[in-house]
Homo-oligomer: A and B are copies of this chain.
Amino acid sequence: MQQYFPNKILYGGDYNPEQWSEETWREDMRLMKLAHVNMVSINIFSWTLLEPEPHKYHFEQLDRIMDMLAEHGIYADLATATASPPTWMSRLYPSMLPVTQQGVRMSHGSRQHYCPNSPDYRRKAGALVEQIATRYAKHPALKMWHLNNEYGCHTGVCYCENCAAAFRKWLQERYQTLDKVNQAWGTTFWSQHYYEWEDVLPPRATPAQTNPTQTLDYWRFMNDSLRGCYELEEEILRRTTPSIPLTTNLMVAFKPVDVFDWAKHMDIVSFDMYPTPHDGAAQVAMPHDIMRGAKGGQPHIVMEMSPSQVNWQPQTPHKRPGQLRMHIMQSIARGANGALFFQWRQSMAGAEKYHSAVVSHEGSEQNRIFKQVAQAGAELAKLASQVANTRIHAKVALLMDWQSWWSSEYQPGPSDQLRYYEQILTYYKALYARNIAVDIVSPEAELGENLGKYKLVIAPLLHMIMPGVEQKLKGFVEQGGTFLTTFFSGIVDEHEHVIPGGYPGALRELLGIYVEEFDPLTPQMSNEVVIEEGELRGRYAATRWGELVHLKGAQALARFGQDYYAQQPAITEHSYGQGKAYYVATHPEQRLVDALIKQICAQAGVEPVLSTPEGVEVTLREGEHGEKFYFVLNQSKERQQITLSEGSYTSLLDEGKVQETITIEPFDVLVLKG
C-alpha cells in the first residue's frame, strides 16, 4: 500500500507571491509557521512570467521562491503553470482559443483560455513542463507535482476546428470504420448517415437536438482530450522525477471530467471544495467519499478550500464561526490527509481579490480568519502522527458512473427534472444520516476483483450498462451480496441503444421485474408510495417519476398509491442466488429513502460506525495495526449527547479520557482513539 507523506497531514494553500515584494515573502514565512503550514502550491498561474516571450524562459523568481520554501522546511506542491497561457500565445496561435457551441471564439484576458486539442497549446505546454521538470527535479523543496489547474474549468467542452479534427481521430480509434459510427449513433434516424469522415462534426449548434450518441461520444472525447493534456505532462514528469507524486486538483460535481477515469493516472487524488453557503453537511461530505473511493481508499487531499468567502458565488457570506474548522475536520474524518486553502494571502487586485485568504487584506495574524486557520493547524499537527494514512473501511459501495451521468441528462430526454448527481446524493444522504461508511466507486473500475469486500451495493439511476457490468452485478448478488438500483436504470448499452426485450433490459433478470412503462411526471403531478405493513408502513410522497412495474419473480415491498399504476409495485425485492436485489421505481421523499436504506443495511448486516442523534456525524479511520480513530462532528446547532461503544477512549484534541456517554458542543469536533 503506497503511502505518501507518512505521519503528515498536509496543511497550507495556494501561494502566489509574484504579487508582492520579497519583504512580504519573509513575512509570509513567519506567518506560515504560526499557522502550522507545511505545504504550499506555487507556480499555478506563472506561465507568462516564466516565458515572457517565445522560448525565453526566466526562472530567477521561481528559484528564489523554491529556495525560500526549502529553507523554511515548507514543501512545494509545484504546479506546471500550463493552465493560463501568455497573451502572446493567442496572438501567435489564434486557433488555440476555445470556441463555444454557438461558434464564439473566446479571448484571452481572463484565464484558462485554451482548447485542449490545440496542437500549439500542447506543444508549448509540453516544452514548458520539460523546462520546469528539468530545472527543479532535484530541488529539495519539490515534494509533489500539481499538473495544470482545474482541468476543464470554464472550457469543459470546446467546439473548434482543432476539436473537430481530433474528434474524428478519436472516433477512428474507437470505431475503426464509419459504418460502425453510423451504427452506434443510429444515423438511419433523421437522415444523419455519414459517408465521409470529414462530415463528422462536434455537436455544434443545430436547428433541433443533436444526435444523443454523438453527444455522449463528445463528452467521452472531451474527457479524454483533457486527460490527454494531463498525460502529456505526466509522461514528462514521470520520466524526469519518477519518485515525486503527481496530482491535479479535480472539482466537485463536475460533469466533464470522470474522476474515476482520471484517478488511475494520479498518485494522489486531490480536489477543490467550494460548497455554497446553504449546502448541508451530507452534501459537503459526499465529494470526500468520491475522491477516496476513486483511489481504492487511499487518502486524498483537499487541494483548495476557502478560508471563508468565495468571491465567485452570487453572494459571499463568510463561513460562520466553527464552520471552517468543521470543513477541515470533516475532510480528515472522511479520509483526507491534507487540507489546503485558496489562497494564502489575499490579492489586492484582480478577479479574486474578494476571495478570502488565510492572510486577509489587513495583513496581520490578529484577523479572525487567520486565527481560525492557525488553531486548526495546531490541531492537525496533534493528529498527524497517529491519524495520517489510516483508512476508512466500508461495507457499502455507492456506484457513480460518468457514463450514466452523460447519457441520462441528454436533453430533450424523458425528463428535464432528472439530475444524476442529485440522485446519487439522495441515497448518499441516507447512508450519511446513519453514519454508515461508504465508498463511492465506479461500476466499471471497481466491481469484480474488489467485490468481496462489500455487503451492499447501491446504484441509483444506473442508466447505461457498460460491457461487463451486468455480469459483475449478477455475480455479486449470486454470491450473497445485496444490490439496490432505481428507476430508469439498465435502459441503454454503451452506444446508448435501448437494450431490447423490455425494461430494464440489462437488469431484468437480476431484479426479477419487467417495467412496461416509465412515466416521468410534470412538476404539477405526483404519486404516492404505499407500504402496508412492517416498520416502513405508511404513505410517502413520490415525484418526478413513476413506472408500470410487473413482478417476474420479485415481490413488491411497496406499491404506488395513485394513477393508472396504483397498486402496482413501487419497490421490489428479488432473491437471486444467495443475495437480494432491490428496485425503487420512483423518486420518493427523503424520509422513505432513509428508512428503506436503514432497513436494507440492517438486513445486509451493515452496521453504522455509531448510532447518534440527528446532526452528529461519526466516522472511523483505522490504522494498519487496528488502531481506531473515531471522528465525532456535531453538525447541529444543539449540544448533543452520544453513547459510545463500551471501552475507554482518548480524546486526541484535548488529550482527555472519555467513556460511554459524552457531550459535544454545537459545531464541535472530537477525535477519540479507542
Tell whether A520 is near chain B: CB-to-CB under 8 Å: yes
Least distance between A357 CB and chain B CB atoms (Å):
12
Tell whether A155 is near chain B: CB-to-CB under 8 Å: yes
CA distance A109 to B167 in the complex (A): 14
Tell whether A60 is near chain B: CB-to-CB under 8 Å: no
Tell whether A315 is near chain B: CB-to-CB under 8 Å: yes
| Chain B residues, Cβ within 8 Å of A544 | 315
- In the complex formed, the residue of B with least CB distance to A369 is B517
Least distance between A349 CB and chain B CB atoms (Å):
3
| Chain B residues, Cβ within 8 Å of A203 | 109
| Chain B residues, Cβ within 8 Å of A103 | 104-105
A111 with B191: in contact, given A206-B106, A349-B498, A354-B413 (CB under 8 Å)? yes
| Chain B residues, Cβ within 8 Å of A110 | 190, 192, 206-211
Tell whether A139 is near chain B: CB-to-CB under 8 Å: no
A193 x B91 contact (CB < 8 A): no
A414 x B311 contact (CB < 8 A): yes
CA distance A312 to B497 in the complex (A): 18
A155 x B207 contact (CB < 8 A): yes
Least distance between A452 CB and chain B CB atoms (Å):
35
Least distance between A466 CB and chain B CB atoms (Å):
16
A414 with B206: in contact, given A191-B47, A350-B211, A361-B502 (CB under 8 Å)? no
Binds B, one of A79-87, A618-626, A640-648: A79-87
- In the complex formed, the residue of B with least CB distance to A110 is B206
A368 with B208: in contact, given A49-B191, A361-B503 (CB under 8 Å)? no
Chain A contacts with B in 651-665, Cβ cutoff 8 A = none
Taking a contact as CB atoms closer than 8 A, the residue among B45, B53, B367, B520 that contacts A317 in the complex is B520
Tell whether A186 is near chain B: CB-to-CB under 8 Å: yes
CA distance A71 to B349 in the complex (A): 62
Chain A contacts with B in 547-561, Cβ cutoff 8 A = 548
| Chain B residues, Cβ within 8 Å of A277 | 522, 525
Tell whether A199 is near chain B: CB-to-CB under 8 Å: yes
B87 x A195 contact (CB < 8 A): yes
Q: Write the A389-433 contact mask toward B (1 if CB under 8 angstroms, else 0).
A: 000000000000000000000001111110000000000000000
Tell whether A521 is near chain B: CB-to-CB under 8 Å: yes
CA distance A562 to B314 in the complex (A): 22
A517 with B368: in contact, given A52-B193, A361-B500 (CB under 8 Å)? yes
Tell whether A382 is near chain B: CB-to-CB under 8 Å: no
Chain A contacts with B in 171-211, Cβ cutoff 8 A = 185-196, 198-199, 201, 203-211
Least distance between A20 CB and chain B CB atoms (Å):
9
| Chain B residues, Cβ within 8 Å of A53 | 195
B87 x A206 contact (CB < 8 A): no
Tell whether A608 is near chain B: CB-to-CB under 8 Å: no
Tell whether A313 is near chain B: CB-to-CB under 8 Å: yes
Tell whether A318 is near chain B: CB-to-CB under 8 Å: yes
A18 x B188 contact (CB < 8 A): yes
- In the complex formed, the residue of B with least CB distance to A311 is B412
B204 x A412 contact (CB < 8 A): no
Tell whether A16 is near chain B: CB-to-CB under 8 Å: yes
Least distance between A322 CB and chain B CB atoms (Å):
9
Tell whether A636 is near chain B: CB-to-CB under 8 Å: no
| Chain B residues, Cβ within 8 Å of A316 | 414-415, 520
CA distance A107 to B316 in the complex (A): 40
Chain A contacts with B in 70-116, Cβ cutoff 8 A = 81, 83-88, 90-91, 98, 100, 102-113
Interface residues of A (CB under 8 A from B): 16, 18-19, 45-49, 52-53, 81, 83-88, 90-91, 98, 100, 102-113, 153-155, 185-196, 198-199, 201, 203-214, 277-278, 308-309, 311-318, 320-321, 346-354, 360-363, 367-369, 412-417, 495-498, 500-503, 514, 516-517, 519-525, 544, 548, 563-564
What would 15 A/B residue contacts be, using CB atoms closer than 8 Å?
Answer: A47-B191, A107-B205, A108-B199, A109-B203, A109-B211, A111-B208, A154-B208, A189-B352, A212-B350, A213-B349, A313-B412, A315-B415, A349-B495, A360-B517, A363-B500
Known: A109-B204, A186-B349, A311-B412. 14 other contacts (CB 8 A): A45-B190, A47-B191, A48-B191, A88-B195, A88-B199, A91-B196, A104-B205, A107-B204, A109-B206, A189-B347, A208-B351, A212-B353, A315-B414, A354-B414
